[in-house]
Structure 1
Amino acid sequence: MIRKLHTEEALPMNLLLLADPSERLVRDYTTRGTCYVLEKEEKMVGVYVLLPTRPDTVELVNVAVDEAYHGQGLGKQLVLHAIQEARQQGYRTIEIGTGNSGVNQLALYQKCGFRMTSIDRDFFLRHYEEPIFENGIQVVDMVRLEIDLI
């Protein structure tokens, strides 16, 4: 079951930090966005945040699934839920960004209908103090993707 995180509930920081190692940035965008959690057996095992960015546009940020639950299609379930939620809320566009080395994420997002639109060069060098590595590759650039919802 995927549901909106209640305001009195603590952020599932253990999950959020799987997708973004900066607690400072996570706390910043979770205060401006809406956090959704996926529960299995009364345990939070997945998360995403919808963050309004511009008129009619929302960004899907921080899609994460507990590593013990990988390979079960939960990431796809979260992304499809986010698209449906954005559409129901009246947004015209949903955007997402991921690191240049996130081959699994890039495949997932495209399978869910996202199309690549741009590359934000050196994004991770500008916004993160420590280098980030994924799949043996340094995460340097942000690959931006989007879906038109109308």
Structure 2
Amino acid sequence: MIEIKITPSNLVPKKLLLEADPSIDHINQYLADSICYVASIQNEAIGVCVLKPIDINRYELFNIAVSPENQKKGIGTQLLRYVIEHMKELNAKSVELGTGTFGYQLAFYQRFGFRVDSIHKDHFIDNYDEPIYENGIQLNDMLRLVLKL
């Protein structure tokens, strides 16, 4: 059975965060002042989600990741569902995030009702030292998605 709980940012396994964001510098920047959720099975962390307040009513989802051996088992879905419900309890009005312009991540978020809000041209080129590839295609632009709660 999966247990999801809020965890101090210094105890979040960075190895999991690196599954979704290849830059440890970026991870260290957004971990400060974030709300971190860890999904565990028998006290072993298998998933993580990091949100940071933008203001009193808005949060940004910076990272959601599941360990490779536990992917495609619905854990990410359970984790995001839990996080969204918690955001509603905090009276948040929206959750925002940035993702690549194609791939399974985009469909994953759209299934929860996230909608495209804007496009940041060349985000992945301008903000990462190394190119990021998904399915053999280099990520260039970032889609900004918003879920109204």
TM-score after normalising by structure 1:
0.92
CA distance in 2, matches of 1:118, 1:37: 29
CA RMSD of aligned residues (A): 1.3
- Tell me the residue number matched to 1:6: 8
Name the CA distance, whole Å, in 1 between partners of 2:38 and 2:48. Answer: 4
3-state SS of 1:49 partner: strand
Contact kept, 8 Å, 2:7 with 2:37, in 1: the verdict is yes
Aligned AA (2:68): E
Q: How many residues align?
A: 147
User: Structure 1, unaligned stretches of length 5 or more?
Assistant: none
Which structure 2 residue ranges, 5 or more long, are not aligned?
A: none
Report what 1:65 is aligned to: 66
**Distance in 1 of aligned mates of 2:128 and 2:33:** 20
After the TM superposition, which segments of 4 or more aligned residues of structure 1 sit over 2 Å from their partners? none
User: Does structure 2 retain, via aligned residues, the 8 Å contact 1:131–1:138?
Assistant: yes
8 Å CA contact retained: 1:120, 1:144: yes
| TM-superposition CA deviations, 1:71-105 (whole Å, max 9, x none) | 1111111111121111111111111211124x111
Q: Offset at 1:55?
A: 4.0
User: How many percent identity over aligned positions?
Assistant: 39
Shift of 1:11: 2.6
Partners of 2:118 and 2:86 lie apart in 1 by: 24
Counterparts of 2:99 and 2:55, CA distance in 1: 19
Q: Indicate whether 1:24 and 2:15 are aligned.
A: no
- How far apart in 1 are the matches of 2:68 and 2:105? 14
d(CA) in 2 for partners of 1:26 and 1:146?
21
Greater CA drift, 74-83 or 57-66: 74-83
Residue in 1 that maps onto 2:129: 129
